[in-house]
């Protein structure tokens, strides 16, 4: 087993790329007092997964521009070229990253170094993330699904002001934060940017300019893709199009899982 923590200092990560359900309920989201944030939907279709007790949000199908956002000077080479992607089917995605309480309930284990029921589970390999999602009758999201959901209908680098929506690097902080502490995006999804990276279903690969429908990455590869950015990164990395990748057998203190499904 390979165990690795991400090395400090952090600025390098900002410079180089590296079921059966109850009836659907209305998720009321209050208007936020802080200015400059993305509008939040008044209602979102949700369901509670009986296997892990977590809430999942329905994201409707659509077409978006995947990759570097217009005017985003912080984009890295692997976020280009931006290209048109169609998500052809509605899909469910976790309202939050998988919590340690949920992971313990399902997998009877908690590999996280810093413990807390409402902290995201971390220090899990790609195969463990994949196994968890399958155990709750879901799957890992694709990069295209994740970016589409993370954007929340926006075309900007973030769906709100960085400090309002995302946990990013703060001097002296050495672990993730509890889920649902920052403002959600328009779809009612929390921490889609910042706090923890999450493993994707895709093998990591460069983009092409071609239009795509439901892209799922190449059939084979060396590293698995990650999305979201984390508390270990500065705001330059915590953006909707930001990508990362690592060998699937590695474990990290800022990588978690968020499940999806159709």
Q: What is the mean pLDDT of residues 189-214?
A: 98
pLDDT tens digits along 130-157: 999 999 999 999 999 999 999 999 999 9
Contacts of 133 (CB under 8 A, 6+ apart): 139, 140, 257, 259, 260, 261
Contacts of 213 (CB under 8 A, 6+ apart): 85, 86, 88
pLDDT band at 66 (very low <50, low <70, confident <90, very high): very high
pLDDT tens digits along 209-222: 999 999 999 999 99
DSSP 36: S
CATH of range 1-262; options 3.90.1150.10, 3.90.1580.10, 3.40.190.10, 3.90.180.10: 3.90.1580.10
Better pLDDT: 28 or 110 = 110
Quote the tokens at residue 174: 């050495």
Per-residue pLDDT, 19: 45
Gap between the Cα atoms of 41 and 149, Å rounded: 13
Better pLDDT: 213 or 19 = 213
Quote the tokens at residue 191: 């921490």
Contact 147, 158 (CB under 8 A): no
Gap between the Cα atoms of 260 and 257, Å rounded: 10
pLDDT band at 41 (very low <50, low <70, confident <90, very high): very low
| DSSP codes, 47-80 | EE-TTT--EEEEE--EEEEESSPTT-TT--GGG-
pLDDT at position 128 over 60: yes
pLDDT band at 1 (very low <50, low <70, confident <90, very high): very low
Per-residue pLDDT, 171: 82
For the sheet with 255-256, list strands across it: 243-246, 224-227, 197-203, 255-256
pLDDT at position 165 over 70: yes
Per-residue pLDDT, 163: 95
- Ranges 2-6, 9-13, 120-124, 253-257: which has the least confidence: 9-13
Q: What is the mean pLDDT of residues 45-50?
A: 98
Q: What is the mean pLDDT of residues 114-121?
A: 98
pLDDT band at 44 (very low <50, low <70, confident <90, very high): confident
pLDDT band at 12 (very low <50, low <70, confident <90, very high): very low
Gap between the Cα atoms of 146 and 256, Å rounded: 14
Gap between the Cα atoms of 90 and 229, Å rounded: 25
Per-residue pLDDT, 172: 86
Per-residue pLDDT, 39: 38
| End-to-end alpha carbon distance in the chain | 33
């Amino acid at each position: 087993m390979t165990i690795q923590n991400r090395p400090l200092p952090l600025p390098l990560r900002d410079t180089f790329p590296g079921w059966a359900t109850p009836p659907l309920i209305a998720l009321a989201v209050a208007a936020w007092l802080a200015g400059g944030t993305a509008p939040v939907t008044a209602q979102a279709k949700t369901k509670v997964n009986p296997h892990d007790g977590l809430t999942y949000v329905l994201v409707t199908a659509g077409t978006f521009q995947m990759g570097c956002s217009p005017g985003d000077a912080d984009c890295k080479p692997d976020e280009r070229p931006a290209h048109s992607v169609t998500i052809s089917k509605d899909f469910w995605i976790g309202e939050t990253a998988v919590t340690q309480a949920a992971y313990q309930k399902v997998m009877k284990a908690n590999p996280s170094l810093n413990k807390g029921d409402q902290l995201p589970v971390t220090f899990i390999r790609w195969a463990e993330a994949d196994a968890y999602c399958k155990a709750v009758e879901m799957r890992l999201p694709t990069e295209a699904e994740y970016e589409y959901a993370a954007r929340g209908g926006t075309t900007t680098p973030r769906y709100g002001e960085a400090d309002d929506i995302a946990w990013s690097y703060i001097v002296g902080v050495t672990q993730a934060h509890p889920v649902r502490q920052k403002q959600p995006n328009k779809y009612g999804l929390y921490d889609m940017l910042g706090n923890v990276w999450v493993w994707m279903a895709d093998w990591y690969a460069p983009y092409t300019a071609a239009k795509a429908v439901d892209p799922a990455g190449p059939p084979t590869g060396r590293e698995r893709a990650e999305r979201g950015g984390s508390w270990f990164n500065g705001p330059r990395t915590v953006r909707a199009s930001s990508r990362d990748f690592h060998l699937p057998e590695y474990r990290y203190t800022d990588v978690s899982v968020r499940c999806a499904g159709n």
